[in-house]
Amino acid sequence: MKTELSFTPLSQVSTELLAVLAIDTQTAKGPDAKATPRLLTTDPGVTAAAAAVLASGEYKAGANETLLLHAPAGLAARRLLIVGLGKQVKATVHSVRNAAGTAVRFTKPRGIRELALALPSSESLSAAASARAAVEGAYVGDFDPDTYRSDRKDQSVQTFTIVAPAGDQQSTIESAFAEGVIIGESQNFTRSLVNEPGNKLTPTVLGQRAAAMAKEVGLACTVDSTSKLHELKMGAFWSVSQGSAEPPALIVLRYEPAGVKDGPILGLVGKGITFDTGGISIKPADNMEKMKYDMAGGAAMLGAMRAIALLKPRVRVLAIVCASENMPDGKAYKPGDVVTAMPVAADRPGKTIDIINTDAEGRLVLADGLTYARTLGATHLIDAATLTGAVGVALGMINAGAFSNNDPTFEKFATALATSGEKFWRLPLGEEYAEMIKSDIGDIKNTGGRYGGAITAAEFLHVFAEDTPWIHLDIAGLAWVDENKPFMAKGPSGVAVRSILEWVRSYSA
């Protein structure tokens, strides 16, 4: 999709479809309250073209509600699309992001290949922030998961233009627009990886895709396999890998901004299970096909690193993705096995792990990934994983789970959410939960029982983060969207890319 920024007056924009945003200004409540839609534009031509239909009462300006007008009088555009942001008091730049995605998804199946979106004219909505959010939303809306359909028709919007008001903010809007392009493309890069079938995206291929991206954007990258895991004594990671005919991949990317020699080193660690059968503790057949998405945490780290490389924050970052399949063959690890994780130092033996359930494999690969990040110099850690079904039970498919051992570090992440617009909810850690994963035969066990499953999984990872400031993101409930939304196709969401990026940028010198 080609993206452009224009400062042409709206009435003069020649395009197949011009989209403008609207809000409901009604503040009254009760059964007799009627919606009062208002366009967020000061262009007299556009307001005149839509005046009659807005006055009719048939359009309410609800969130992502659309109304199409053909051949609008007085406009150079062939069609006028009105997209609602919902109630005025609730409208934010995140509403603008979704509205832009809605406009793109409205356009795609109608054979319209050219779309222009007018930035909202509103004191409560920053033009620059809206420009960035809108272009992010347009990329999100343009993605479809039908990669392997033999009769696939290219319905992509070929040209997406944001139309902004001319004035003193022009350079700021241009910068925000450019950022939005990078972030939208990076989120879709993550989604394209998560969407790949397990037979197409093996750990080896994921490593190749990571290396190709790194070369494209200027990141240092190494991809190692079995021998490196044995060299590093990554017994937890290897135990998951050993049951598969596909070799594992240990992917390491580095971002080193010029002139930055001190300050924090941020370690990004992602779970990269390219297919998860559950191993010997095999999963039920229903919905197992979705387990190709079990590398969404690793893919989020790769997408974030792509954006970091292009946006160039002044902070050092390294990313580790531990990629493997979890398969149940004769060499696979078994319930009751005891495996030894990577040692953090030569004089400190690795933790021993009592395997209770081989389907709790993500925390094993992350354990060695977190330790490796620390040995490579990471001073702050963040991991992302489709780790537990329990987090979806706790939070529904509305919020992803977040955990941290350090309040100042988490506060930076919470602040990042205000920009990313993604929904994470912090859940607790504590000694009582840590007691639930103590083992009789080893140091810890890899599950803590039925109750508090997302929390005990986080406590397992806490063992390997130790006192290093650390955030754990359990994205299992949000990494895959089961139904189409007005602004996003069902399938991979790319969740956490924007939030991780903004957390990293918060450390920029």
Question: Which residues are the active-site residues?
Answer: 283, 363
DSSP states of 61-82: --TT-EEEEES-TT-SSSEEEE
Residue 133 Cα distances to 119, 203, 377, angstroms: 10, 33, 34
Q: Are strands 491-492 and 480-481 parallel, antiparallel or unpaired?
A: antiparallel
Q: Listing from the earlier edge strand, what are the strands of the sheet with 265-276?
A: 220-224, 249-255, 316-326, 265-276, 380-385, 470-474, 400-404, 424-426
CB atoms near residue 466 (< 10 Å): 13
The amino acid occupying position 474 is D
Return the residue matching tokens 């020649």. 14
**Residue 411 neighbours by CB under 8 Å, 6+ apart:** none
Phi (first) and psi of residue 302, to 5 degrees:
-65, -40
Diameter of the chain measured on Cα atoms: 79
Continuous segment of H or E residues that includes residue 458: helix 453-465
Q: Is residue 86 within 8 Å of residue 24, measured between CB atoms?
A: yes
Q: Are strands 2-6 and 159-163 parallel, antiparallel or unpaired?
A: parallel
The residue length of the chain stands at 509
**HEC assignment per residue over 97-158:** HHHHHHHHHHHHHHCCCEEEEECCCCCCCCHHHHHHHHHHHHHHHHCCCCCCCCCCCCCCCC
- Give, in degrees to the nearest 5, the angle at Cα 486 between 481 and 491: 20
Side-chain half-sphere CA neighbours of 424 within 13 A: 32
Rounded Cα–Cα distance for residues 212 and 194 (Å)? 16
Q: Is residue 272 within 8 Å of residue 322, measured between CB atoms?
A: yes
CA 353 to chain centre: 30
Q: Report the sign of the C-alpha dihedral through residues 23, 25, 28, 34, in that order.
A: negative
Continuous segment of H or E residues that includes residue 472: strand 470-474
Structure token digits, residue 444: 């810890």
- Give, in degrees to the nearest 5, the angle at Cα 372 between 248 and 401: 85
